[in-house]
Structure 1
Amino acid sequence: MTSAATSAVTSTPRERHVRRLIGVLVAACLSVAGLTAQPAQAADTGSITGTVFTQSVGGAKTPAAEGYIYWSHAPTKDGAYSGSTGHRFTGSTFSLTGLKPGFYKFEVAQVFDAAGSSAYQREYYNDAEVVHDATAVQVVGGKASKVTDMVLEPAGQISGRVTDTAGNPIANASVSFQRSAAGGGPGVTTGPDGRYSTTTGFAKGLVKGVYRVSARHDAAPGVTSHEEKYWKNAATYATATPLTVAPGSATANIDFTLAAAPRIQLTVKDPAGKPVPNADVGVWTFSDGEWGPRRAGPNKTDGAGVYHQTVRIGERHKFFFTPPAGVGGATEWYDNAYGEAAAKEVSATSHGQVLSLTIQLGAAPAITSATPKITGTARSGKTLTVAPGTWTPVGVAVRRQWRANGVPIPGATGPTLRLSNAQAGRRITVQVTGSLDGATPVAVTSAATAAVQGVLTSAKVSISGTAKVGKKLRARTGSWGPSPVTSKYKWYRNGRAISGQKKSTYKVRKADVGKRITVRVTRSKSHYVTVSRLSSKTAKVKKK
């Protein structure tokens, strides 16, 4: 948080004068650092105004005498809030000016009452403990946004003790206080006796509200950590018992008993059996139904070549190691595997369990290949599929390259190939190359398909001319392609072929009177599928 800690003492007039002088110096430093509001630009004309009160336990709220407020900005309500700008105000009313459009969250970090006391807990608007939970205020250019009154009251306190299952105190355990599941919250650390108190935290207490309190202990690598628990032994925020904090209250004996967390010790050795220190370890975790890289890090072996990781019971992990420069061997997954699919899962089953694993690097085994097989119809517009076959060991990476008459097809490296007229007349093969770190790649080519048949584009066939004896009819074919193509014509009288009529035109005869004429156009091209189209019928032929 960006707030300053508050003081819980009532000062003398001389002390108040000194403190106000310090406040002026702080404001001056903020100005030099560029943290105070700068002169408004044309687009930065919005403002936020509000009134701050103080209220002691059992007393009435009274206007504040002065204080400090900090704010941050985001272009959208749920966006990332950035920039910590400080502002000192005198009297109970503050006005933040020169603000650009967007959303603002702000915190009254310290406030003094008329008597000079600062015994009031800092808070975000509106009674929020952290910025995530604060109410965002929208600023529209050129307009003033007025917020409801803020009333600062004395802090509430929570204290307790954190021990292990044997009753021994746990020092340096982290205790957190959350108002929402996603918002996080302030935290404190236990002392050597396992005790904690919010009075030792950055803000010296808590804003009034309902909290879920949790504790966990993260120890140094190789040392036992302790699993996180919420108060009353709850495992999650959703199941935790809420704890209400009132102004000036002190809630004690919020205690925790933490079980030892399981951990993994993975030793990485080079081919000669020597540990590999200070090197990256690959960690995959099963989450949301799939395996993927673990984001947290760095994941490195220590000086003794051992990687340490604290885990939860039931979590599923896989580990691999890629030798750095100067270390022999190939990338290897635990246990003696050369790919994620064949790697052995590691899961803890009990509290305090220590899983000791070893990856012993060695030369990669030779790759055993299979002959890829193509299925599908070798015709333009159809899709061919290649099955690469089974390659060993598991973990061999295969890449594909489709070829037409032995020439690579640009960009055709997937498991399927959609054919086009560009491949017409060519035979298709796939070269599959298997590779494994440290092993010699192996390339195998499939058997060739039959020559690909192209597909001609065609247009509707029609007949032009007058259906009368002695008149000439003509076949209209539109655009066919790709050119050049070979065309053939066949004329019909009431669906029966007219002998010898194989040209694009036809002269109407007496025998056609009362009949309807059609024409069939057939076009062909080498390595293309022949296409035939029949015209619609003419009107019945009339005499001259």
Structure 2
Amino acid sequence: MLVLARARSLRVIVRFVVASLLGSLWVFGAAAPVAPESASISGRVEFPVGVSTAEGQTFVALYYSHSPTWSLSETAVGADGSYTISGLAAGTYLVEFRSSDRAVLDEWWNGAEDDADAATRIVLRAGETRSRVDVVLEESAVLSGTVSVPDGVDRAQGSTDVILRGVDGGGTSYTVGADGGFRFMGVRPGTYRLEVRSFDLPVLDQWWDGGDDYSHATPITLGTAEKRSDILVTPARSAIISGTVTLPEGIDPEVGSTTVLARTLDDRLLGSAFVERDGTYTIIGLPPGPVKLKFVSSGRQVATEWWQDQPDLASATVLNLAPEEVRNDVDATLGPGASISGSVQLPDGVDGNSGTVWVYAYAVGAPEKAAASTSVRGSDGWFSFHGLTPGEYKLQFVPQNLAAVGEWWRDARDFSSATVIALAPGQAREAVDAVLSSPPPATLTTATPTISGTIAYGSTLTAKPGSWTSGTTFTYQWYASGKAISGATKSTFTLASAQKAKTITVKVTGKKSGYTTVSKTSKATAKVATVATPKISGTAKVGKKLTAKPGTWTSGTKFTYQWYVGGKAISKATKSTFTLTKSQKGKTITVKVTGKKSGYATVAKTSKATGKV
């Protein structure tokens, strides 16, 4: 106690010292911390004429505009319809008005019914008082009625839900009372359909007023504030299947360990029941028509099977039920179950925790649907199937989000070639292992590269890879007449004297992780020409003759000429000489020399400009 008292005294002293320091800072001119001013929202709620809403039955809920799911606060509306939400920080808010007695419709401010995205945002500054956030609430429609039960059915043995579904299929449910009554409040004007579902009662689920599903049910259209109370639903008595299930000798018939499933011919669930400790079961709520029964036990030693000892849906015996028929002789004797276990090995470097391998067991006589399935995740890769019906099976291994190839046991690529696993009653087949391989590399999208640039000594050429798979990286190798040029491994290459009179190609190699590396080679260019920049000899004066001097080109090259004045071609000035006229006075002269030779690229070179004429 003494230690505790001293600790408390120390905290008091520390607080005093800190407070004194802060006070001193304020005295000597430092700014004291100031709490930001709080903002508020207030307004008035107006109710429809004739609707009596007591104080506390209507609430105003406040939300951040970016999170209209969880309310920050809820404030009750006063008896006079007023409300105030205070202590708010600066920010953007949404306001919703909700009624607990559902006499009026919920609404977002301003004018949005049940859509927060359409609601008006309220932006508050620090300390701002926002008033007149008012609303006029609309009276809700009401739909009520009664769900009856057939004579002899005890409603207390189960329950019934009535579901009011809108045009989007979504709905609101109501559990009927002991008298069968139901009442939906807070209903908006619109068109609805009514679904009735019973639980643990021998009656059929149905839609009002007729129809097997939503699209065929009779619609109910409600206007604003309309009160509809004439809905009567009388579910028909269902068919019933019951019997006794006998487990293999030595198996404890624990309640809930075995389930009987009633399924349609296309394997949709119609109803189910647990087998009691004495082996009996009863499935209620069944419609008339064909039914097949499946017996599934959670015990590993009991085989899963269909009625009358059948291994799968396709071969199962059909029960044709008449309306309200009661079949109490559908017995089954389940045999000992078989099992399969093994492991899945992934390719080297593949992390088993990054994905899943699904293992499917298919009965040989029913390859269209797996008899059992399990997932494998992690490093050990172990899997097992228990409670299998004796017979012949094939296993499929399907990796998901893993760099591995699926297969059938053993190393088979399809059902027909997979190895058969024969299981006797009670047999445990172990070491059914699978080693999955890595997927083959994908194929790159490629293109034949092209070469741009002048095919002449001294020019720089550029390799254009074309369109490949996105993310591909490239390497290059240039060739002269089919022979690799040492060191020419970039996307550009400048032609040297060693390449004169030779053709040029480039090989582009594309690489990307997970893809096969591919090389593509361009078409060969023409032979590399020797070229020179032409010169102009003569005096740049009116009346004087100018002469084009091509320079040294590949031997045998033939030339053509084009003279220019101020960069503009001179009509018919296409010889090696040109005599200046008055029209060129004050302008510069250039000449373009084009060299051609069979097997070589045609190259054009332009001289430097003369001085002004």
Q: Using structure 1 for the length normalisation, give the TM-score.
A: 0.48
Quick one: higher RCO (CA 8 Å, sep 6+), 1 or 2? 1
Q: Using structure 2 for the length normalisation, give the TM-score.
A: 0.44
